[in-house]
Amino acid sequence: MKKIYSFTRKILADDVDMFRNMRHSVFLRWLQEASIAHTETLGAGRDKTLDKGALWVVARISVEIRRMPCYDETVTFRTWAGKTRHVLFPRYYEILDAEGNTAVRASAVWLLMDAKTRKMAFPDKYGVKVPDTVTGTELALPAGIQPQDAPVVYRHTVRFQDVDINGHMNNSRYIDIVEDALGFRFMHDYELTAFEIGYEEEIRAGKRVALGGAYGDGNIYFEGKTGGRICFRLRAAYRDRAVLY
């Protein structure tokens, strides 16, 4: 049993943006991939969850970026589980460069959802137990995002390619549509240094998402609504790319 799960991978052209830096959504896809793979090795995989009608879903994610890995760089991705909190499963992540320096850290809170009712499921019902570990490098768990006044600035209809195995828009796609809403000029001039996403409700295929946004003084706030109901909130910090390049 590996309490810390890791893989080493080269950053490919399809993984990066126009600045040759790893896309934030690619990092979130790696995060999900590693989480699923690790729970399998810990005995909490699909035979206890997916095959019995329970889905692993992420409720909150927090990411701290020292630098995003770049094209053709080889990095190591690591993840480990924190102490289970009744129905919540904390998990931690980091990307290390070839010298062992931390490039990105993240933390997330996962839970189980009943595939039929789409409501939270209790892990004891499925015999799910995830052993925890402590490294001392854990990023603090996301604490929640306070709502702000955010006029609608962008709309997105959930497409077939947005939807994952759980039948809703994949968690990694939220940051993509936020960056699309921010627009080319903003993404050209500024770089995210940290972000947190709170997933309030799942977004199913075909739903239209209205994004409200507000930003200034180095901070961004976005919220997405479907049918007038909040489905997610995002808070991010950014810096001027001119300072870096």
pTM above 0.95, yes or no: no
Same domain, residue pair 234 and 137:
no
Q: What is the pLDDT of residue 82?
A: 95
Per-residue pLDDT tens over the stretch 45-82: 788 888 888 888 899 999 999 999 999 999 999 999 99
Q: What is the pLDDT of residue 216?
A: 79
Domain containing residue 203: CATH number: 3.10.129.10
Q: What is the pLDDT of residue 48?
A: 83
Residue at a domain's end among 142, 163, 188: 142
Joined together, the tokens standing for residue 240 give 């001027």
Same domain, residue pair 129 and 165:
no
Coil/strand/helix, residue 27: helix
Burial of 212 (0-12, 13-18, 19+ CB in 10 A): buried
Which residues in the chain show pLDDT less than 50?
Answer: 245
Q: What is the pLDDT of residue 245?
A: 45
Q: In this structure, are residues 50 and 36 in contact, taking their beta carbons and an 8 Å threshold?
A: no
Q: What is the pLDDT of residue 1?
A: 66
Q: In this structure, are residues 68 and 21 in contact, taking their beta carbons and an 8 Å threshold?
A: yes
Q: In this structure, are residues 177 and 153 in contact, taking their beta carbons and an 8 Å threshold?
A: no
Same domain, residue pair 79 and 148:
no
